[in-house]
Structure formats: structure tokens, C-alpha cells
Amino acid sequence: MSKVTHVAVAILQRKNHAGQSEFLLASRPHGKGWAGWWEFPGGKIEAGETPEHALTRELGEELGIKPTSTQQWLIRRFDYPETHDSPAKTVLLHFYFVNSWDGELAPRENQGLSWQNAENITVSPVLPANAPILKALALPPVYVISNLAELGEQAFFAMLEDQLARGLKLIQVREKHLSKDAFMKFSAQVIDLAKPYAAKVLISQDIGLARELGAHGVHLPSHALLMLKTKPAGLIVAASCHNAAELAHAQALDLDFVVLSPVKSTLSHPAAEPLGWQTFAEMTANMTLPVYALGGMVLNDLPVALAYGARGVAIQRGVAANSLL
């Protein structure tokens, strides 16, 4: 079995002048394997170092900065093939969000630097280990599920507009109690309200309705996921999962993301045994799809969810009392 190299990886984040989230990519300098390819900054974890210590050391050596706010995220394994300038190797990548730092960014190893938006990557080629990471970063960390039945129309739309103004970017319209006509009308209102904020709206279950209304995508319940043979074209396609078989099927279809539940106890399914964070992490450890944690979530659960490998949290009842920013 080949030796595994542990690597600390930094996802440096900032907001650009338009308020969009960006992260830093660096090109590998000449003289290193995979020279010219783009990657997240970071480097090998030395013997006796923790990943956090390695992250701080590498960012100092490569960029001349010291991280002051970090958030543990994914751990992912990748097997690099042999190339003309690099031997085959296996890496275990420890990803960290870096939200603030001291010092001025500077390329200290003659590498190129570029701030990028996940929805419009303008540099290439990017190291293959980073493909699923870029896919996850294209999604926001909070996914809100509509809750009209409990809030009522006036309170729901007031809450939604407030959260959109605070930065909400991803919404699922899911109201089982409504008739088809009422659901269409409600969904259209949500889409219209979200449009000026460039927020994406997914329709629960009904692929045809999502297309008819011009929604960004569809969110499938688990039974519909298991019936799906191919991913519908031209839509963001997400799904609800509760077990390993459903996760595997979603990954085989290359869906855009999934939610896994229930992580904690929830009012909507009081008899369901919660997974807990450790089981959530174990079930999603080898997933290349982004996974949101669902079930009893509030915004304060976001740092924990990230630390256990989630892309973020999916929130229904917990959203009204929480600011998203």
C-alpha cells in the first residue's frame, strides 16, 4: 500500500466589490510536480505537526500571511497518477476555510494568484483533486426550506424578504398541504421575490413544474430519487437522503447536492432516530457530492456542520429567528 501524504489546504475567502464570495487559487510554480496547474494554497503536514499548525506555517511561507479565523471542513483522499514530472502519490487533504488573516498577500514562491468565483472559474487547468471542492463551493452554506403552513403567508413572505436581503441564496419550495394550483401560485411568488437577489429556487418533486415556472431546479424526495434513472437536463437537481443506498444512488446520478437527515431530533419526524454528527460524518466521508445537514438545524449549527464535512445546513423551522449573515 502506498504511503499517504497528509496535506493542509486553505480556502481563503473574501467578498468582492459586488458582494460576491471569492476564494484564492494559486498556480504551482515551475520545478514542482504538476507545474502550472491551479490549486488551493497549502502544503504537506510535517511529522509532529497538527493540520492547523501546518496550515499556518504554509500560509506564512507561501503567501506571507497568518490566519486569524479558520474553520475546519472536509478531509478528502485523492490518488494522483504518475506524470512526466511527478510520481504517483496518494494524498489526504485537510481543508480549512480561512475567513481572515494578518499580513498582505504576496506570492512568495513565484506562484500565480487569482481570486475566483466558484460559478465562473477563469483559470485552468485546476488540479483534479479540487473538482468536487469547486462544485461544493458553488453552493451557499445555508439552504432554506419554505414553511408557509406554520408561519402563514404574511409572516412567511416578510421573513423571506428579510433573509434574502441578508444574503439567502438557496431556497426549496415545499408545501405539501397546498393544492396544485395554490402551490404553483405560491412558487411563482417565491421565484419573483428571489429574482432581484440572484437567489436560486428549487421546486419540490415536480420536475415539469420547475421547468414551467422557470425555477432553477428541483428537489426530489427519497422515493422519487430511487426511481430516477438519469439526471434531468438543464436543472439543478437535489435530493433528500436518509441512508447509504440513497446517497450512493444520488452520487451515481451525479446530482448537484443532497440533504441527509435527520441529524438531530425534528418536530416533523419525532419518531425518527437522529443520526448524530459522527454518523453523518461517517456516511458522507467518501461522497463527492455536496451534502447539507437537515433535521433540527438552526444557523448556530453551521460551524459544527462544516467541521463534520457538510457543505452547510438545511433549515426550515429554525430560519425565522436566525439572521443568515
What does the pLDDT average to over 19-48? 92
**Confidence grade of residue 25 (pLDDT, cut at 50, 70, 90):** very high
**Confidence grade of residue 86 (pLDDT, cut at 50, 70, 90):** confident
- If you ran DSSP here, which 8-state letter would residue 117 be given? B
- Taking 50 as the threshold, does the pLDDT of residue 302 lie above it? yes
The size of the chain, in residues, is 325
- Taking 50 as the threshold, does the pLDDT of residue 220 lie above it? yes
Query: For the stretch 121-138, what's the b/e string if a residue is b when 16 or more beta carbons lie within 10 angstroms of its beta carbon?
Result: beeeebbebbebbbbbbb
What is the percent of the chain with per-residue pLDDT over 70, rounded to a whole number? 95
pLDDT tens readout for residues 133-178: 999 999 999 999 999 999 999 999 999 999 999 999 999 999 999 9
- Taking 50 as the threshold, does the pLDDT of residue 304 lie above it? yes
Q: Which of 83-97, 162-176, 267-281, 311-325 has the lowest mean pLDDT?
A: 311-325
What does the pLDDT average to over 95-114? 96
- Taking 70 as the threshold, does the pLDDT of residue 319 lie above it? no
- Taking 70 as the threshold, does the pLDDT of residue 269 lie above it? no
**Confidence grade of residue 325 (pLDDT, cut at 50, 70, 90):** very low
- Taking 90 as the threshold, does the pLDDT of residue 112 lie above it? yes
What count of Cα atoms within 13 Å lies in the side-chain half-sphere of residue 156? 21
What does the pLDDT average to over 84-88? 79
**Confidence grade of residue 83 (pLDDT, cut at 50, 70, 90):** confident
- Taking 70 as the threshold, does the pLDDT of residue 81 lie above it? yes
- Taking 80 as the threshold, does the pLDDT of residue 318 lie above it? no
Return the closest-CA partner of residue 9 out of 47, 48, 49, 39.
39
* Alpha helices (H) in the chain, listed in sequence order: 51-63, 131-137, 148-151, 153-166, 180-194, 207-213, 222-227, 244-252, 276-284, 302-307
- Taking 90 as the threshold, does the pLDDT of residue 212 lie above it? yes
What does the pLDDT average to over 287-293? 94
**Contact residues for 214 (Cβ-Cβ < 8 A; gap 6+):** 191
